[in-house]
Amino acid sequence: MQTTNFISKGGAALPIQCHPSSSHSQSKPLVSAPQSEKASIVNKRPSLRPAERCRAGDAYMREKFQPQATRDLNKEKSRLQNLMATGKELSDVPQLPPPQIEEKETDRFDELIVEIQERRDFLEEMEALGRGKQYYNIINTEISQKLREMEIIDKQRSAELQEELQKSKNKMPGPTPSPNTCS
């Protein structure tokens, strides 16, 4: 410590390194590195590039915009509407309605004939299985009801035909005497 006071009074610089546990230095003074090593350390440090070198590279070149293929906005709008409404995407192919099959007007009289035949077939099957007695009265009652309905339809049709015949007779003029005949 005395040496430190003496050095500080004299105006000299303090020693660069000293042993931390003692006040006096027993180590050799540090030798500075040669100039060639200092130059290589300076060159290895990262530094900022000059503006000219930055501009010389492609860092400031803008990429040319290349738009994607455009899509029909109305189609996209309707697709999204269908997606929100139904929860699934519909195909782009328009679906044609199924062809309507022209139903022939089934005549009630013909339907009754088919129903009677079905009941007779059913009764034959039950007799073959040995249960004919159980269904005999029921099936015959149904058949007789169908026959009555057929008779009513037949009477209505014959009345309509009679009316049409009367109308056609009334429209046809009777034989008129021709002027060339002598009576």
- Read off the DSSP letter of residue 129: T
Is residue 160 included in any domain, yes or no? yes
123 and 139 Cβ atoms separated by less than 8 Å: yes
Is residue 101 included in any domain, yes or no? no
Q: Which of 43, 44, 1 is nearest to 25 (CA)?
A: 1
Does 34 have pLDDT greater than 60? no
Is residue 123 included in any domain, yes or no? yes
**pLDDT given for residue 20 in this prediction:** 63
Distance CA 37, CA 44 (A): 11
Is residue 99 included in any domain, yes or no? no
% of the chain residues with pLDDT over 70: 67
Is residue 137 included in any domain, yes or no? yes
Is residue 124 included in any domain, yes or no? yes
Is residue 89 included in any domain, yes or no? no
**pLDDT given for residue 116 in this prediction:** 96
Q: For the chain, what is the mean pLDDT?
A: 78
Count of structural domains within the chain = 1
162 and 117 Cβ atoms separated by less than 8 Å: no
14 and 29 Cβ atoms separated by less than 8 Å: no
Distance CA 28, CA 55 (A): 52
CB contact set of 166 (below 8 Å; sequence gap of 6+): none
Q: What's the token pair of residue 181?
A: 């005949």
Global confidence as pTM = 0.38
Task: Give the domain range for residue 134.
Answer: 108-169
Q: Which helix (H) or strand (E) holds 60?
A: none
Is residue 13 included in any domain, yes or no? no
| Listed ranges 63-72, 85-94, 167-176; the one with the highest mean pLDDT | 63-72
